[in-house]
Homo-oligomer: A and B are copies of this chain.
Amino acid sequence: MAKLQSEYSLDTSAHLRDAPLSNQSFPGSHKIYVEGDGRSHNVKVGMREIELSPTIHANGRVEFNAKLRVYDTSGPYTDPKQIMDVYAGLQPLRNDWIESRGDTTELQQSTSEYARQREQNIALEALRLHRRRLSRRAISGANVSQMHYARRGIITPEMEYVAIRENLGLSYQSLEQAKSEHHSGQSFGACIPTMITPEFVRSEIAAGRAVLPCNVNHPESEPMIIGRNFRVKVNANIGNSAVTSSIPEEVDKMIWATRWGADTLMDLSTGDNIHETREWIIRNSPVPVGTVPLYQALEKVGGIAEDLTWEIYRDTLIEQAEQGVDYFTIHAGVRLAFIPMTAKRLTGIVSRGGSIMAKWCLAHHQESFLYTHFEDICAIMKAYDVSFSLGDGLRPGSIADANDEAQFAELRTLGELTKIAWKHDVQTFIEGPGHVPMNLIRENMEEQLKHCHEAPFYTLGPLTTDIAPGYDHITSGIGAALIGWYGCAMLCYVTPKEHLGLPNKEDVKQGLITYRIAAHAADLAKGHPAAQLHDNAMSKARFEFRWQDQFNLALDPDTARAYHDETLPKEGHKAAHFCSMCGPKFCSMKISQEVRATAEDNEEALKKKAEEFRQQGGEIYLSTPGQDEVLL
């Protein structure tokens, strides 16, 4: 339960205060902090460690099962030792690193005119956090992007953090051991080393193959990396719309999303008070936050796309960069000439940003200001280390429209823009579709790698069929797993409400679990050295009927336990050598344990054993407490 330090002053505060999620660790798990070598930086990487019970063999031998470390996106919210205060925000763990670089300066006031207006508006006092902070910006002429450091050969503490995190803090020997026991995978050109070193992180960022999104104004964020030579990541979209939801609901959803595995979050708010909603989310978010600045810019012009101007948009970029947004979706590839290519589509343009820009371009019959001012945007990005997420405004919105002329014309433009961004050492990744049948997914990945020079790919699904609204987490989870395997670096989740409504907390969780499955299935298929450790721990617990361990090892321990307990609720059943699916007589796992005991020896001994087995009555599996009760 969250230990809030003061009363929450917003109307729907009860919603946040009562959230049963904050500061609660996962069952059977502890938060640990793995330290770096300490030579240069004070790096401590939070991870989750799942305790496992011992195996008791038939002969009475007790086998110790090592704790399993898992990648953890939940930040301090799953560490009961931390005292949380959503009014103050999280501790800024990166502050010292940023300051010590000496290339940023604190601003006495916001550079954005709009931000200053909001900050000076007394009517908004009730919506403000208690702790104020001063924004930072690069000193004149400086470039504070991780890519800029990487290209100058500098390994930042952020890079060191990421390396430890990707390895789960394991030693080279442990990773080598893990790798040797696993399937080797098929990587489609990805090259994941056995151990991720800080130097490898640096070189991947320098090459543009990976992005470490970390705005100097979001020091609360725990560094993470997006690239196909790293673990596949998952993004969750949150944010209110004009129709529904409030600030506390969105903060609550943010914490909830990081609990269930969101590596980054996009705040897609389009309703009232989006400046303040964003401030709450960023100050409390342990993961990078992305936005689509165009949404807020459009709000500023009353929702009339044609009234958008570069000046309003530019002010919005600076406003959000100084709040700490880590990456901006910018639909700069929607060029005037491509718009007529969408006319014959079944579903036209389905990206909000894409359609807004298309409307602007047509109304003015001009090239998009995002395209014409792209280098001006780069200048802003590098002053705060905001990363580009180059938006796919012309992505297909239906199976029928997949991989068409409009989509690939835009993709090639995004590749050209990537080159420009890299000229400025601005970190860049590329957004992708959308709705694509399975057989056309690989072409998406190959075209992206080719035209975007291996910049990381970040796709929405893709949905592999259009016919199942209400289940689009699943239609798209299939596509996400596939494109993750082929090399997509980050998967933007889709919830069950896609195409139907705004997701609630349960939808956010369903979307995230589905996408964690997709990302993990992709890591396994690519042959990630440490991925199969988790599967093997689960399978061993399953074969040995360690039910508590099975629950604790599950991506969603609460649901696994609840489903089991629906039919076998008693505590004694947790030691049972069967479940309700087959009952005791038909449990293959139970019989298989007996078979193994018999078959382990060589062919000659087999016959003898078979005889013994018959004489014993053929029932040699382990007796454990509570078992008699259930076997009656």
Contacts and interface: CB of A to CB of B under 8 A. Distances in A.
Interface string A532-567: 101110111011000000110111100110111011
Contacts of A534: 466-467
A4 interface: no
A540 B346 contact: yes
Interface stretch (A101-109, A112-120, A239-247, A322-330): A239-247
Contacts of A522: 438
28 contacts: A183-B437, A185-B437, A241-B580, A242-B584, A242-B585, A243-B568, A270-B585, A343-B599, A346-B536, A348-B592, A352-B582, A354-B588, A356-B588, A358-B592, A362-B599, A362-B609, A397-B542, A398-B538, A464-B525, A466-B534, A467-B555, A468-B555, A471-B517, A477-B477, A478-B481, A478-B517, A499-B550, A501-B563
Nearest to A524: B437
Interface in A374-412: 397-402
A142 interface: no
A interface secondary structure, majority: helix
A593 B352 CA distance: 12
Interface in A486-519: 496-502, 504, 513-514, 516-518
B539 A466 contact: yes
A564 to B, nearest CB: 4
B359 A467 contact: no
Contacts of A583: 241-243, 270-271
A69 to B, nearest CB: 14
B538 A467 contact: yes
Interface of A: 181-183, 185-186, 241-244, 270-271, 295, 298, 303-306, 339-340, 342-343, 345-352, 354-356, 358-359, 362-365, 397-402, 435, 437-440, 464-471, 474-475, 477-478, 481-482, 485, 496-502, 504, 513-514, 516-518, 520-522, 524-527, 532, 534-536, 538-540, 542-543, 550-551, 553-556, 559-560, 562-564, 566-568, 579-589, 591-596, 598-600, 602-603, 606-607, 609-611, 613-614, 618
